[in-house]
Amino acid sequence: MNNTEERLRDYLNTKAGTVPGNEQGPGLLAESTHRRPVWPALAAAAAVVAVLAVTATVLTGSDDKPAPAASPATNNLPKLPYIVTEVKPAKNMISADRTSTLYDGTQKVRIPKDVSISDRVDGGWIGDTFSDKTTRVVILRPDGTTRTLGPELAHSPIVSPDGRQVAMIVDKFRGDEQGRVAVVDLASGSEVGSTPLPRKVAVATAWGSRGIFAYSDISGKYEFFAAQPGDKQFELLSLPGFGGGTVSTHPGTDVVAAGAGGDSCLEAGVFRGNNFDVLRKYCEPGKMGGQPVLSTDGRTMIYADGNLAVDIASGKITKLDLPDPNVLFPTGAFEDAVHALVITQPRKGRDLGPMRLYRCDVTTGKCTLLRTEKAPNQISIVHR
């Protein structure tokens, strides 16, 4: 056993030893990767991706135009919710008609056109909605109706590790680039904490035992922060080489995966005090490494652009048996410690083919096709 393996083992064993023997886990709410790259700039980027996808010419080969797959067998359904967006092409693709449907187990719910879903919570699924005048965090109920949560001008919700609270960015006024992070009790709807954002254009990105993580990239200078609910301010953390992208963590592990050293690298490690102890760094020159996908036990990360799974302790690389490239955004997510849901899409130059949803075993690399959507329809995974 090498030094990295010993450090990861000791760290996880120490964390496990702090859990009482009669402690109950959060059940279904813990069976996912908790990553939150949801903020207005990313929403805009997603819109650009969607526009590019619907304006691209569909590949003409017969293998790239399959009919949508039949619904998976009940015992093979994804453990995480996912969304299918049907796109009806138009001359002006920006205004093309889009209809989104959420699938969660055997549930199927039409999503209102102005709502974006990001997480699963008790009572439904949480997301936000934007209009010309305001933003609101909303919960989509199984019957297709919504209810608001938190104050006006709130957006980008992040659910706490125990599923009981929701952190959300609250702008000072519509379109403001600096505001606060409010924490709202999910059951009562009451605000129980508030902390000013540490910088303008700060991104709240995840929630671990260190609290709510955020980062800022003003003028290309990346800074990383954390705050517990109710703290007066965010604390600056040292994350050398952080290159933006997204940050991935998961309730109960404290292992963090992040883009580092430019676009081609990922790092995974843990915070000890204010310093980041790197357990594993993986780079592929010429690839995009800034979108990490971390397993629920914090032991594996997916390097999506290479269709690779990286064992954080040993450095072992497992090639995922996928016929097409991973979609870098929206990213995949882990159902459990071993199985990841990933989305692929064939590409030939600027031409894009159909999106496909797979389940991959990261210990063997074997991947099973769950669903195919004909282009230009979109698939995205809800990460909890």
Rounded to 5 degrees, what angle do the CA atoms 171, 172, 178 make?
65
> Who's near 215: CB < 8 A, 6+ residues apart?
202, 203, 205, 222, 223, 224, 225, 242, 244, 247
Spatial distance between the Cα atoms of 180 and 172, rounded to a whole number of angstroms: 8
Q: What is the mean pLDDT of the chain?
A: 80
Lowest mean per-residue pLDDT among 31-40, 117-126, 317-326: 31-40
Nearest to 112 by CA among 91, 140, 73: 140
Q: How many CB atoms lie within 10 A of CB 18?
A: 8
Q: What domains sit in the chain, N to C, each tagged with a CATH number?
A: 3-15+30-381 (2.120.10.30)
User: Rounded to two decimals, what is the model's pTM?
Assistant: 0.79
pLDDT higher than 50, residue 22: no
What is the per-residue pLDDT across 236-268, written as a single tens digit (0 to 9) for each?
988 888 877 778 887 777 898 988 866 789 999
What is the per-residue pLDDT across 322-340, written as a single tens digit (0 to 9) for each?
999 999 888 899 999 999 9
pLDDT-derived band at 57 (thresholds 50, 70, 90) equals: very low
Q: What is the pLDDT of residue 244?
A: 73
Spatial distance between the Cα atoms of 376 and 200, rounded to a whole number of angstroms: 36
Q: Among the ranges 23-27, 60-64, 264-268, 289-293, which has the highest mean pLDDT value?
A: 264-268
List 301's β-bridge partners, or say none: 294, 310
- Give the alpha-carbon dihedral of 87, 88, 92, 98, to 10 degrees: -40
Spatial distance between the Cα atoms of 256 and 267, rounded to a whole number of angstroms: 8
Percent of the chain with pLDDT strictly greater than 70:
77
Spatial distance between the Cα atoms of 42 and 329, rounded to a whole number of angstroms: 10
Q: What is the pLDDT of residue 131?
A: 87
Spatial distance between the Cα atoms of 234 and 215, rounded to a whole number of angstroms: 10
Strand order in the sheet with 355-361: 333-334, 339-344, 355-361, 367-373
Identify residue 295 by its one-letter amino acid code.
S
Q: Is 147 helix (H, G, I), strand (E, B) or coil?
A: strand
**Distance of alpha carbon 331 from the chain centroid:** 6
Spatial distance between the Cα atoms of 32 and 383, rounded to a whole number of angstroms: 6
Q: What is the pLDDT of residue 37?
A: 35
